[in-house]
Structure 1
């Protein structure tokens, strides 16, 4: 295939029990902004600063009977996770926890180049350093 789509924006959508609450968490964590529409009350976007054109966004989609993933092993497998690259994990980790994240008890990085956290509804994400 020689042609590709020209996406105007990329969105990662996370299922959750409360879209507004999870969007607020990611907005605090990243310093981004929350955008919701009365037309779709179960869908809330978290957008980077600025106009967001061509940027990555996180969407929080409220669903009934949400079940958090059981990572690294369990009956509800991890379906996805987010990696956020930071200058210093040591500096960013307390900020993530202050926003509402929790450190996962399982930390597989042997060289300390990433640290695993859970968002308030159990989605794993990593703070990473290159």
Structure 2
């Protein structure tokens, strides 16, 4: 027997604010909302956000406070999706290793995440 994947949990200082940010970026439905935990549910998985009063945002690419993980979102039109992410409260990072294929942002709590053309019709041939 295997345990099916359900989702990812992100620690943060304000679960509702971060869940609402990601809802603007990727859609989904706020399924559980408490002071300490919010679940953003999609068709086959969920993103969870839990309050961590000692949360420290990663300082990527500076390794002093390393990132533990990051999320990737498919975006066939990076420029259009970047505008949506910034309007929702995301911030592009100063370091952009391959801006023609993926762009790195920080969410409102400081977690790095990427928009990428990989796996889309506009992505590199090896990503299709």
When the two structures are superposed, what TM-score results if normalisation uses the length of structure 2? 0.85
Corresponding residue number in structure 1 for 2:54? 65
- Report deviation, 1:29: 1.2
Measure, in 2, the Cα distance between the counterparts of 1:73 and 1:10.
31
DSSP-derived class of the 1:109 partner: coil
Runs of 4+ in 1 over 4 A off after TM superposition: none
Q: In the alignment, which of 19, 28, 31 is matched to residue 27 of structure 2? A: 31
**For 1:66-109, what per-residue CA distance to the aligned partner results, in whole angstroms no more than 9, with x for missing partners?**
10001012321010000001121111110011111010111111
When the two structures are superposed, what TM-score results if normalisation uses the length of structure 1? 0.84
* Aligned pairs for 1:32-51 within 5 A: 32-38=28-34, 41-48=35-42
The answer to whether structure 1 residue 5 and structure 2 residue 13 are counterparts is no
DSSP-derived class of the 1:44 partner: strand
Unaligned 5+ runs, structure 2:
119-128
Corresponding residue number in structure 2 for 1:101? 90
Contact persistence 2:90–2:108 (CA under 8 A): yes
Corresponding residue number in structure 2 for 1:16? 12
| Number of aligned residue pairs | 118
**For 1:33-78, what per-residue CA distance to the aligned partner results, in whole angstroms no more than 9, with x for missing partners?**
212255xx31111112xxx3xx121110111111000101232101
Measure, in 1, the Cα distance between the counterparts of 2:28 and 2:88.
12
Q: For structure 1, which segment, 29-38 or 94-103, has the greater mean C-alpha deviation from structure 2 after superposition?
A: 29-38
